[in-house]
Amino acid sequence: MRYYRDTWADIDLDALQYNIKSLEKHHQKALIAIIKANAYGHGDDMIAKKALASGAKILAVSSLDEALSLRYKHIKGPILVLGHVSPSDIHVAIAEKISVTVTSYAWAKAILKEDLTGLVAHLKIDTGMNRMGLKTLEEVLEVLHDFDQAGVITEGLYTHFASSDDPKEIQTQAQYELFEAMFHKINRSFKWIHCSNSDAAIHFDTPLCNAVRIGLALFGYSSFEFDLKPVMTLKTKLVNVKTIQAGETVSYGATYTAPHTEIIATIPIGYADGWNRKHQGDVCYIGDSACEFIGRICMDQCMIRLDQLYPEGTEVELLGKKASIYPMSKHLETIPYEILTQLSDRIPKVYLEKCKPINTINPRLIKKED
């Protein structure tokens, strides 16, 4: 598959494997690879395949649609949906062998109307995030009893930390203790017990658990110092290079005025690609040279200031080792998660192994078969 606009994301599958191995050495638990939101913008099926080949035991996504997207792309491994599944759609999960999360007591009661034979479930305990899960022991025991009667296989017990990026771990510790106490009171074994996301898997010990749910760190990022490699490098090429004179303005609204003669270039990425208007004033890189985004980011293009004349066709790194996501997040007043997941499917992905392209996916050029 090809692409015809020179803006693309290189996805280094060896870096993904490196991160999985590096994390595994540290947490020594089974990996539940969190690949929701199109694998944090990296492409769900290619990341799923590599994660499973690198040892992930379960893939987790946010919705039945995301799970089915993987099944339709022939991903056969175990898949867990972390978010809400409509009770009336539970037969789809059963038919496609997709595990579900018990997101509330009312939900657990509602699905009892369906034939649940063969359904695999993970029970979520709400220990303080107040987003999803059961809160009381009575609810948990009743649901487990109902599920046993209905032929549901309740193979997992989990919770989710609200402040795992806090190095002081006060809330994380409190949530873990609640979870541990609940587990002991339930007095039953589960195939999978899991609490930690990336930051917790790196920074916080959960001896009760035999699995971790890792998302962001798979792709090379964590709030804590850790040996990880960025998986995605977002690149583009200069498509228009020119000199402007002092006093000339750049882009919509004329928010940038050249203070003196400058060389500037246009690159083909804009807010329709998920390249937020707040990038104005931030930098991208040509080799080691930082180039500032000047003037407003347009829908499909934006302008950068060059330190010297480069020919049209010169490669620019927008996000990667040089154009690091952390200073970028600060500039955009956001978090790496948002930057990665906002990148639109207008950006083709080139998957690399041993530095060689093995597949290119350009979602906008997939031909309809019927």
Ligand X SMILES: Cc1ncc(COP(=O)(O)O)c(C=O)c1O
Considering beta carbons, is residue 62 or 289 the nearer one to ligand X? 62
For 242, the enclosing helix (H) or strand (E) is strand 240-244
* Active-site hit among 29, 36, 124, 235: 36
Considering beta carbons, is residue 162 or 186 the nearer one to ligand X? 162
**Shortest distance, position 359 Cβ to ligand X, whole Å:** 24
> Which residues neighbour 92 within 8 Å (Cβ) at sequence distance 6 or greater?
64, 68, 98
Considering beta carbons, is residue 150 or 162 the nearer one to ligand X? 162
Considering beta carbons, is residue 115 or 338 the nearer one to ligand X? 338
Considering beta carbons, is residue 201 or 316 the nearer one to ligand X? 201
Distance CA 44, CA 154 (A): 26
**Shortest distance, position 124 Cβ to ligand X, whole Å:** 8
**Shortest distance, position 107 Cβ to ligand X, whole Å:** 16
User: Phi then psi for 67, rounded to 5 degrees?
Assistant: -65, -45
**Shortest distance, position 357 Cβ to ligand X, whole Å:** 27
* Active-site hit among 21, 252, 321, 326: 252
Closest residue to ligand X using C-beta atoms: 215
Residues lying near ligand X in the complex (CB under 6 A) are found at 34, 82, 160, 197-199, 213-217
CA neighbor of 348 nearest in space, from 273, 287, 275: 273
322 is catalytic: no
Distances in Å between the Cα of 71 and the Cα atoms of 24, 213, 245, 368 are 26, 20, 56, 18
* Edge-to-edge strands, sheet with 289-294: 240-244, 262-267, 302-306, 289-294, 283-286, 315-319, 232-237, 7-12, 349-353, 356-361
21 is catalytic: no
User: Phi then psi for 69, rounded to 5 degrees?
Assistant: -55, -40
* Overall residue count recorded for the chain in this entry: 370
- Cβ contact 255:295 at 8 Å: yes
CA neighbor of 222 nearest in space, from 53, 23, 31: 23
**Shortest distance, position 51 Cβ to ligand X, whole Å:** 13
User: Which residues are known catalytic residues?
Assistant: 36, 252
